[in-house]
Structure 1
């Protein structure tokens, strides 16, 4: 019997031989559950959400054997246009459905089974362009969102709330894999966001489908409308974070006036270099996770050579060849804007970044801000940043304590490290605005143990 394409808004329960066509706007990972009918076996499922008009979208779930459901799940991704054939149309339980799935406009949901239903991906040449355009329309009111400053300012009073965010992608972190106490495999990826009000805000992704989706986004050029994300207070960071859940729908580069304004702001703001400085000063990587040992030449090659990596972390055993602790105070300690990390004009008490939103209510932080050269037998990495807590830990003193040192004491502190081999944890990032195209940030620096140096370097391919 011929199948008929039915719009989401016209679906009715128990309709037979129905085909639904739409663009996939959300998708969850594969899950398994004990099969009640066949004791000892499992049933597998995954969920997704499709949209076929500006106001109408619906949730679907596919059930079946593990290998079949795995194959069906892997055949399409978020943003694909699909044709769903012969789904069962069932009335949804709003209390249960809206708690764990995206809140949809439809009263129903689609139930797909291995024996009766199929999902086919429509090639771009066959997909209706109007479907693809729907992908850029938020599923919630495009004016209903929190700025990042609103979330930060309200702090713990918003803890656990589900809300909408409009922001720009700043960077995508490395995916971390782990095993739970009961043996299940998991993953985690942190995404940094920014808008006109906050320079860096963390969005956490746990689902592999979401992480794959995230990795297709272009940093600093992608505006995101994140519908129904959960915000919580992170006691470790002592700040608010957002989390993508099974309810969350992320609209990339939404076709709205608010998104256009934010995109233009992000473009202008990126050109000031403020985000480069934010990456340099805002790193929270645990040293325990950094184990790769590099020579200076290898660090440069990894960034500038064929690998074309944007950022690498590593350990190097090198000599400090420039450390101007006895220079003028302005070259050792600097006042910076708490918002964007640009320098503050101490006389005028203004941020030197004219695009910074913090100029209206300037908050200033004072800290070490040193440029250090590190050298080994393969070359020199110039002007590495040693700042903030990393500098205090390296030097063994706070800014206030340093200001009370005599000139002789500053010189003695300088020669404790100068021309000495050190164990240095580094973050090296690609930075087209700098002369050599790379920027180094020292995360930790201690005098090296000669025995450790000999054992480690003997194992490194030089």
Structure 2
């Protein structure tokens, strides 16, 4: 919903919101509803994407090229204009919805074959910067929704969605909020740019973007089969440990270990929790065999491999038959405070390197006494730990922790932080 100064009534505002409807595989049209603030707020909350509606008494107007720059590109030469005094929208309950309309909901608004693979976008890099194109991909994960206020006082929200396909294991899509889970997406007219912070290409949903959920096409069916086979290998779970790009500065909520456990176990709708805990590291086996500290993985799918392998053991890996190996820390750490213990938390990748102060290659050059000394720098010491706790049916206790950063904690900081936590 947006507002504009009313030229006829100085000092007051007019309100509007836009939506797009389709009633056949090939034809769809944009519509705008205008009225008072309360009325438009009610109408914009009345229906959602996927609902069947009857639009009564719309005014049919020729497209205004200037206004259409901010709306989806439709096949119609016209648009619908609805007003509070003359128009209405009736929403049909699911049981009364026309099956013919339900079937076309899953047909993309663009040609099924007109899309870029994520690999093409990454390979072309900055040459595609600023381009608007189509993507067919699988939803891998949805990040936490973040809220903000623009310079002119408008409220907004954004979240980061991770996509993958046969060519790329993790690709960032920035959107205004997303609530679906485990779905295929055909994303029409999304803008791709090079993100200098991530040093990679990202896609952004704009006001012109239309997302078709679970698209009905041969290409989507083939990608779904691949995604199903790939997810069953467990490689996606392994890859997630290395693909978390949440800003540490955004993690500020302090929890005890027990609070973290209860929060994730008691909320079926919450996939993960980010938080800070001040706890002791009670298991840190840096002086164990190298295979339990450092592991080699396929650079394409993060599946665990051995140096002797000639190809990745994951049959669905997009890198086969060629194998590229990356080596890094892959530790399992127990953290404990006065309320309990969170076992087998993952400490890996750059988070492990920053915590320990050395790379995996540098660690391999350490003598056994040096490894033991590094271990006791953290073992049984109170640490400030930023972590992501996830629901994990495969884990023994049903949850899994992923350590994003770990530093020795100052006593004063610990006292101040824990004083605000309900112990």
Superposition TM-score, scaled by structure 1 size: 0.88
Match runs of 1:246-325 below 5 Å:
246-305=207-266, 309-325=270-286
Q: Does 1:40 align with 2:14?
A: no
- Cα distance in 1 for residues equivalent to 2:394 and 2:306: 22
Q: For residues 303 and 125 of structure 1, do their structure 2 counterparts lie closer, same or farther at Cα, with a shift above 3 Å needed?
A: closer
| SS at 1:392 equivalent | helix
Question: Could you say what secondary structure the match of 2:94 adopts?
Answer: coil
Mean CA deviation greater in 138-147 or 348-357: 348-357
Q: Report the alpha carbon displacement of residue 402 of structure 1 after superposing the two structures with TM.
A: 1.7
**Any conservation in 1 of the 2:24–2:101 contact (CA below 8 Å)?**
yes
Deviation per CA, 1:55-103, whole angstroms, max 9, x where unpaired?
Answer: 111111111222222222111111111111111111214x435532111
- 2:62 match: 91
1:445 aligns with 2:406: yes
The Cα shift of 1:124 comes to 2.5
Provide the residue aligned with 1:63 in structure 2: 34
Cα 1:68–1:259, aligned 2, differ >3 Å: closer, same or farther? same
Q: Does the C-alpha gap of structure 1 residues 102 and 396 become closer, same or farther in structure 2, counting only changes over 3 Å?
A: same
The alpha carbon displacement at 1:366 in A equals: 1.6
Q: CA deviation digits over 1:137-171, x for unaligned, max 9?
A: 11110111111111111111111111111111111
Aligned counterparts of 2:228 and 2:314: Cα–Cα separation in 1: 15
Matched ranges for 1:206-225 at <5 A: 206=176, 211=177, 214-215=178-179, 217-219=180-182, 222-225=183-186
SS of 1:279's equivalent in the other structure is helix
| Residues 92, 108 of structure 1: 8 Å contact kept | yes
| SS of equivalent to 2:123 | helix
Instruction: Render the CA deviation track for 1:160-217: whole Å, top value 9, x for unaligned.
Output: 11111111111111111111223221111111111111111111113xxxx2xx31x1
User: Which deviates further from its counterpart, 358-367 or 190-199?
Assistant: 358-367
Tell me how far apart the structure 2 counterparts of residues 46 and 306 of structure 1 sit (CA, whole Å): 33
1:451 Cα deviation (Å)? 2.4
Distance 1:237 1:381, change over 3 A: same
Residues 288-437 of structure 1: matches in 2 within 5 Å? Answer: 288-305=249-266, 309-437=270-398
Unaligned residue ranges in structure 1 (runs of 5+): 1-29
Give the deviation of 1:397 after TM superposition: 1.5
Partner of 1:173: 143
Unaligned residue ranges in structure 2 (runs of 5+): none
Residue 194 in structure 1 maps to residue 164 in structure 2: yes
Structure 1 position 148 matched with structure 2 position 109: no
Report if aligned partners of 1:345, 1:351 keep a CA contact under 8 Å in 2.
Answer: no
Residues 311 and 322, structure 2, Cα contact 8 Å, conserved in 1: no
Which 10-residue stretch deviates more, 271-280 or 149-158?
271-280
Structure 1 distance, partners of 2:317, 2:143, is 24
Deviation sequence 1:315-342 (CA, Å, 0-9, x none): 1122111111112222222221222222
Preserved CA contact (<8 Å) 2:60 2:78:
yes
**Following TM superposition, by how much is the alpha carbon of 1:306 offset from its aligned partner in structure 2, in angstroms?**
5.3
Alpha-carbon separation, structure 1, partners of 2:13 and 2:324: 57
Aligned length: 423
- How large is the RMSD of aligned CA atoms in angstroms? 1.6
Offset, 1:455:
3.1
- C-alpha offsets along residues 259-293 of structure 1, whole Å, 9 cap, x if unaligned? 11111221221111111122222112222221222
TM-score where L is the length of structure 2: 0.96
Of residues 380-389 and 130-139 in structure 1, the stretch that sits farther from structure 2 once superposed is 380-389
1:75 to 24, 40, 46: 46
User: What secondary structure sits across from 1:125 in the alignment?
Assistant: helix
Conserved in 2, the CA contact under 8 Å of 1:97 and 1:103? Answer: no
Q: CA deviation at 1:295?
A: 1.9
Summarize the Cα distance change of 1:108–1:458 in structure 2 as closer, same or farther, 3 Å threshold: closer
Alpha carbons 2:185, 2:214 under 8 Å: kept? yes
- Inter-partner Cα distance in structure 1 for 2:95 and 2:403: 50
